[in-house]
Amino acid sequence: MKIVLDRVNVMRDNFSLTAHGEFSDGVHLVSGAVGSGKSTLALAIANVLPLESGSISRCGIESMMLSLQFPEYQVTGLTLADECFSWGCEPAEIFLSSEIQGKEHQSPFTLSRGELKQLHLSCVLNKHYDLLLLDELFSSMDCEKKQKFCSRLSQRTKSITIIFTHEQAILPKVDRIWEIIDGVLHDRGVPPAAIERWCGAPPFIKKLVASGKTPRNISLNEVLEAACRT
Amino acid sequence: MQDVRIRIGAGTLLCCAAFVSLYGAAAVFLWLLIFTPRLQSLRRLRLVIGTVVMIGIISLLLQVINGSGFSYFIRVTVIILIGLWVAGEYQPGDFLNLGVWLLGTGIGFDLGLVAEMGMQSFASLLDDLDRIRLAYSLKRAGLNIKSVIPTGTLLLHLELARAQDNAELLAVRGYRCGGQLTPGFTTSVLDVIAGLSVIVVLLIAVFPFVNFLYFDSELLRGLL
């Protein structure tokens, strides 16, 4: 499975984004500052935004899901149980993993945005998609939940998972790092070499790289291991 | 049309003219063809088509019941076109300027603010609808009759949440009632010509109507 972006150009109002590269099986991180065009790229790959020029080829991809930044925009059920069904999931297994048992008959809007995001991600990650696009998946979540979803993401090796985020603290183990700077998508390559080329890396990772302790990957465990390295 | 005073005034009078008679509706339609950007005002064609279809169904019922469906369809469609033109020409701040100019910095400011917030909500509502449509398509469900209630509930919830945020924001910023604003307008020669020509449209609309009333009263007198 792979997605090939061939000299893609997307326009959104006055903003222009250019992307060229190939996304294969594994977890990809697309980082960039707020307003850099991450959501625009996610929408373009999901075939929601029309391309100005270039093309996107999807090889071997039969199922795709885009998780939007704000979970309330993807709510279509009147109750939490309906919402789980709308994702094709059994409420019982979702409620076990998202810690909101006993609220099956409540409206999704009785939850806080963080809880709703948690439910939304539990439903999304519960299903297999050949291509999974996660736009700002860590927004509105506490550190504990971020860690929990990071470990779930690391298990997705037989599909393409692309994470679009400006998160600087807790990140999952990834197979490739990409970066959007000034409206252009840059391929930084495979970790650990990619970490040294990553301009928008979190400050503590940059500090580790500067002191010659480049972590093997960007997950918290690997960063801690590098920090404790003598 | 740049001047919101002329635009709203003309829009109101044109709506009356279109509603009064078929002659009026025809004259208003002609006015729209001459003085507006025509199809460019129709930003959301699907929404327009949906509305016209809805009016069509009501008109069909009226035609069957009392034979006035055709006239109703023409008149109301023209009124919808006026509404779309007024909404299409809207620029943020228009209603606030108009409210203060018309009724002062007290009630005028409040009414202008309400109208501005209404326009903002309408734009947000359309964006919400697009996102909901996207959500259904991603879930491979598609918007249909079954999804009308959840979609309506969702739209209502998002709108209420936004209204609460706006109310809190106004309260935090110390808003109680009224506000200071110096309204500013740009009036072009074309605005004035278009505004004055509305009088002609009104005359075309009202005269057959007056004749009808006169004829009707004569008939009544004869009968009595």
Q: Give the pLDDT confidence score for residue A185 in this predicted structure.
A: 96
Best of A67, A76, A123 to mutate (most B CBs within 10 Å, chain B): A76
The answer to whether the CB of B82 falls within 8 A of the CB of B40 is: no
Do both B206 and B181 map to the same domain? Answer: no
User: How many whole angstroms from its chain centre is CA B196?
Assistant: 21
Q: What is the pLDDT of residues A204-219, one digit of tens each?
A: 999 999 999 999 999 9
Summary mean pLDDT of chain B: 86
Mark yes or no for CB contact B132/A82 under 8 Å: no
Asked if the model's pLDDT at residue A173 lies above 90, the reply is yes
Mark yes or no for CB contact B132/A76 under 8 Å: yes
If one compares A168 and A99, the residue with the highest pLDDT of the two is A168
The Cα–Cα gap between B154 and B133 comes to 12
Three-state secondary-structure class, residue A56 = strand
Nearest chain A CA: its distance from B141 CA (Å):
8
Mean pLDDT, to the nearest integer, of A76-101?
A: 82
pLDDT confidence tier of residue B122, bands split at 50, 70 and 90 = confident
In sequence order, what are the residues at sequence separation of 6 or more whose Cβ sits closer than 8 angstroms to the Cβ of residue B7? Answer: B1, B86, B89, B94, B191
Q: Which of residues 141-160 of B touch A (CB under 8 A)?
A: 141, 147, 149-151, 153-154, 157-158
Give bridge partners of residue A185 from the DSSP assignment: A180
Asked if the model's pLDDT at residue A132 lies above 60, the reply is yes
**Structural domain spans, chain A:** 2-63+128-228
Nearest to A76 among B128, B139, B157 (CB): B139
Mark yes or no for CB contact A76/B150 under 8 Å: yes
Do both B7 and B83 map to the same domain? Answer: yes
Q: Distance between terminal CA atoms of chain B?
A: 51
Do both B23 and B45 map to the same domain? Answer: yes
Do both B118 and B149 map to the same domain? Answer: yes
CA-based nearest residue to A131, from A200, A50, A56, A194: A56
Mean pLDDT, to the nearest integer, of A143-147?
A: 88
Q: Give the pLDDT confidence score for residue A102 in this predicted structure.
A: 75
Q: Give the pLDDT confidence score for residue A98 in this predicted structure.
A: 62
What's the topology of domain A2-63+128-228? Rossmann fold (3.40.50)
Q: Give the pLDDT confidence score for residue A22 in this predicted structure.
A: 95
Asked if the model's pLDDT at residue B219 lies above 60, the reply is no
Mark yes or no for CB contact A74/B158 under 8 Å: no
Give the number of A-B residue pairs with CB atoms closer than 8 Å: 41
The Cα–Cα gap between A93 and A102 comes to 13
The ipTM, to two decimals, is: 0.76
Domain count, chain B: 2
The Cα–Cα gap between A150 and A226 comes to 19
Three-state secondary-structure class, residue A132 = strand
Do both B118 and B151 map to the same domain? Answer: yes
Do both B108 and B193 map to the same domain? Answer: no
DSSP letter string, B111-179: HHHHHHHHHHHHHHHHHHHHHHHHHHHHTT----GGGHHHHHHHHHHHHHHHHHHHHHHHHHTT--S--
The Cα–Cα gap between B202 and B20 comes to 9
Do both B110 and B168 map to the same domain? Answer: yes
Q: Give the pLDDT confidence score for residue A9 in this predicted structure.
A: 95
- Which positions in chain B touch A75 (Cβ < 8 Å)? 135, 154
Do both B60 and B126 map to the same domain? Answer: no
Q: Is B80 on the interface with A (CB under 8 A)?
A: no
Nearest to A109 among B132, B135, B157 (CB): B157
Q: What is the pLDDT of residues B14-36, one digit of tens each?
A: 999 999 888 889 999 999 999 88
Three-state secondary-structure class, residue B34 = helix
Do both B51 and B116 map to the same domain? Answer: no
C-alpha angle with apex A52: A49 to A53, nearest 5 degrees?
120
Nearest to A78 among B132, B150, B158 (CB): B150
Q: Give the pLDDT confidence score for residue B112 in this predicted structure.
A: 94
CA-based nearest residue to A24, from A197, A193, A219, A175: A175
Do both B161 and B204 map to the same domain? Answer: no
pLDDT confidence tier of residue B101, bands split at 50, 70 and 90 = very high
Nearest to B138 among A66, A75, A78 (CB): A66
Q: Give the pLDDT confidence score for residue B39 in this predicted structure.
A: 63
Mark yes or no for CB contact A76/B136 under 8 Å: yes
Nearest chain A CA: its distance from B50 CA (Å):
22
The Cα–Cα gap between A136 and B140 comes to 22
The Cα–Cα gap between A223 and A174 comes to 13
Q: Give the pLDDT confidence score for residue B224 in this predicted structure.
A: 53
CA-based nearest residue to A51, from A4, A23, A16, A3: A16
Dihedrals phi, psi of A204, to nearest 5 degrees: -70, -30
- Which positions in chain A touch B141 (Cβ < 8 Å)? 76, 86
The answer to whether the CB of A178 falls within 8 A of the CB of A29 is: yes
Asked if the model's pLDDT at residue A25 lies above 80, the reply is yes
To the question of pTM greater than 0.90 for the whole model, the response is no
Do both B123 and B179 map to the same domain? Answer: yes
| % of chain B residues with pLDDT over 90 | 38
Nearest chain B CA: its distance from A108 CA (Å):
10
Three-state secondary-structure class, residue A3 = strand
Q: Which residue of A has its CA nearest to B138?
A: A65
Asked if the model's pLDDT at residue A144 lies above 70, the reply is yes
Provide the 8-state DSSP code for A74: G
Q: Give the pLDDT confidence score for residue B137 in this predicted structure.
A: 86
Nearest chain A CA: its distance from B112 CA (Å):
28
Q: Give the pLDDT confidence score for residue B221 in this predicted structure.
A: 62
Q: Is A86 on the interface with B (CB under 8 A)?
A: yes
Task: Write out the two tokens for A152.
Answer: 């779930």
Q: Which strands sit side by side in the sheet containing A131-135, from one edge to the other?
A: A53-59, A2-12, A15-24, A184-189, A176-181, A26-31, A160-165, A131-135, A64-67
Asked if the model's pLDDT at residue B84 lies above 70, the reply is yes
Mean pLDDT, to the nearest integer, of A81-89?
A: 89
Summary mean pLDDT of chain A: 90
pLDDT confidence tier of residue B198, bands split at 50, 70 and 90 = very high
Alpha helices in chain A (DSSP H): 38-45, 80-86, 91-98, 113-126, 143-154, 193-197, 203-210, 220-228
Mean pLDDT, to the nearest integer, of B112-138?
A: 88
Do both B21 and B49 map to the same domain? Answer: yes
Asked if the model's pLDDT at residue A97 lies above 80, the reply is no
The Cα–Cα gap between A165 and A145 comes to 16
Asked if the model's pLDDT at residue A59 lies above 60, the reply is yes
Asked if the model's pLDDT at residue B97 lies above 90, the reply is yes
pLDDT confidence tier of residue B217, bands split at 50, 70 and 90 = low
- Domain containing residue B207: 1-89+189-224
Asked if the model's pLDDT at residue B220 lies above 60, the reply is no
